[in-house]
Structure 1
Amino acid sequence: MSQVVQSRAAGTRTRQAVGMDSFRLALAAAYAVLLAVLPFVVESDASLSRLRAQVLSGAVDEVEVVGGPGTRSGWGSQEVRWRDGLLQRVTTVELRPSDVSAEPRDGVVHEDVAALLRHDNPSVVVSRSNDPGWEPEVFGQAAPGWVAALLFIVAIASLGLLILGPPPWRGTRWAWFWLGVWIPPVGTLAFLLLSGPAPLVSRRPTRRRLTGLWGFLLGAALAAALPSPWW
Structure 2
Amino acid sequence: MSVAAPVSAPAPAPVGAEAPVGRPVRWLARLLLAGWVVTLVWLSLVALRPATLADLEADLRAGEVETLEVVGGLAPQSRGYSTVELRWRSGWGRQAATAVEATPGRQATLARSGTPLDDWGARVPVVEPGLADRLAALDADVRVVEVDRPSSHGTLFGWQTPMESFWVLLVLWLTTFTVLAWHEHPQRATRAAWAWLVLLGAPLGPVAYLVLGGPAGLLRPPAPGSRRLTEGWALLLALLLPPTAR
- TM-score, normalised to structure 1, is 0.74
1:135 to 150, 153, 160: 153
Distance 1:57 1:175, change over 3 A: closer
- 2:109 pairs with 1:90: no
- 2:47 pairs with 1:28: no
Distance 1:120 1:74, change over 3 A: farther
Q: 1:215 — aligned with what? A: 234
For the residues of structure 2 that align with 1:76 and 1:192, how far apart are their CA atoms?
47
For the residues of structure 2 that align with 1:139 and 1:118, how far apart are their CA atoms?
31
Contact 2:49 2:158 in 1 (8 A): no
1:179 to 187, 197, 203: 197
| Higher percent of residues as helix | 1
Q: 1:5 — aligned with what? A: none
- 2:74 pairs with 1:74: no
2:54 to 31, 49, 52: 49
Q: 2:114 — aligned with what? A: none
For the residues of structure 1 that align with 2:59 and 2:222, how far apart are their CA atoms?
51
Structure number with the bigger relative contact order (C-alpha 8 A, sep ≥ 6) is: 2
Counterpart of 1:83 in 2: which secondary structure? strand
Give the unaligned 5+ runs of structure 2.
1-18, 112-122
Q: 2:67 — aligned with what? A: 62
- Letter aligned with residue 206 of structure 2: T
1:158 to 176, 201, 209: 176
Tell me the number of residue pairs that the alignment of Structure 1 and Structure 2 aligns. Answer: 212
- Letter aligned with residue 32 of structure 1: V
Give the unaligned 5+ runs of structure 1.
1-13
Q: 1:230 — aligned with what? A: 245
- Letter aligned with residue 72 of structure 2: G
Counterpart of 2:153 in 1: which secondary structure? coil
Give the % identical residues. Answer: 30
For the residues of structure 1 that align with 2:21 and 2:244, how far apart are their CA atoms?
36
Mean Cα deviation higher: 17-26 or 141-150: 141-150
**1:24 to partner: Cα distance:** 1.5
